[in-house]
Amino acid sequence: MFNRLIKTHGRHRLVEGWPLVFTILVVVSILVGTVVEFAPIFLVQGQVEPTPGVEPWTPLELAGRDLYIREGCNNCHSQMVRPFRQELERYGPYSRAGETVYETPFLWGSKRTGPDLARVGGKYPHLWHVRHMEDPRSTSPNSIMPPYDWMLANELDLSNLPDKLNALRGLGIPYTDAQIANAEEDARAQAAEIAADVSQQGGPEQLQSREIIAMVAYLQSLTVPEGVAAEVAATEAGGDTP
Ligand code: HEC
């Protein structure tokens, strides 16, 4: 009977006539495709080298980054400079893969209601960010960014930092035992420095225990890593376009 069927309709038609067998064959072929697609990604992952100068976040920057995610800043701001002339002119060197090896989750984004922030670190003094977060229109007339003034009032919670660092280490970020044990102390020291700068620049006093300081620390950490700066300098010396 099979022979007759194959003769008149071909093997394919025969298999199609068996829904269960056909389903299993389809699933198997999808699985093979999946493995072929995924396997190289997992194998390659360990081979992306961190760009020289890129370090895991300090505990305070990490706290700021979590606030950035909590407040949904990434809904309006990307953190990836694309390799196009207009982006290079506006933001600086384009983003390299090795710059984000320690980012979990990454915040590259594609929505730009506001400008890209991948290179915003060092662009403004700390106080500018405090004022801008409190009321964006005080520094950027006509800005449509909403104010985040509660960050100047909210107490910064640092108690869970050791746990966060530890969890990130579990995901492959190379935090040391000492960094984890001293996370809270380390964050307080960095916060005190930034808060001192803010008041020295004529801003509000005593912000060291407020959320805004962690946010400023994080934003100021978004700089061009030395590895990228060196690459750009070398290309420019060669007379090539960036
Ligand atoms: C509704 C969209 C929107 C959201 C949400 C938003 N921003 Fe903005 N942001 C803007 C716009 C538009 C500008 C440009 C005007 C200005 O400077 O305020 C801007 C500018 C900025 C700048 C200055 C960038 C530069 O290069 O001058 C920083 C820093 C910034 N935002 C940080 C944040 C942070 C941190 C958050 C979350 C707490 C946030 N933004 C949330 C729209 C947004």
Q: Give residues (CB < 6 A) around ligand 1.
A: 68, 71-73, 75-77, 113-115, 117, 120, 123, 136, 140, 143-146, 148, 215, 219
Is 6 inside any structural domain? Answer: yes
One domain, residues 103 and 184? yes
**Total number of domains constituting the chain:** 2
In the prediction, which pLDDT does 175 show?
A: 96
One domain, residues 180 and 113? yes
More confident residue, 231 or 40: 231
What CA–CA distance (Å, rounded) separates 171 from 103?
10
One domain, residues 124 and 221? yes
Tokens 């662009």 found at: 123
Residue of 240, 232, 213, 1 lying closest to 95 (CA atoms) = 232
Is 34 inside any structural domain? Answer: yes
Look up the CATH number of the domain holding residue 112: 1.10.760.10
Is 50 inside any structural domain? Answer: no
In the prediction, which pLDDT does 7 show?
A: 76
Q: Whose CA is nearest to atom 14 of ligand 1?
A: 114
Query: Which of 145, 152, 215 should be mutated for ligand 1, with most atoms under 8 A from CB?
Result: 145
Tell me the CA–centroid distance for residue 88 and ligand 1, in Å. 19
Is 105 inside any structural domain? Answer: yes
What are φ and ψ of residue 136, in 5° steps? -55, -30
Type of residue found at 176: T
One domain, residues 20 and 113? no
One domain, residues 217 and 170? yes
Domain span at 140? 59-237
Per-residue pLDDT tens digits for 187-220: 999 999 999 999 999 999 999 999 999 999 999 9
What CA–CA distance (Å, rounded) separates 52 from 26?
46
Give me Rg for the CA atoms of the chain: 25
One domain, residues 38 and 130? no
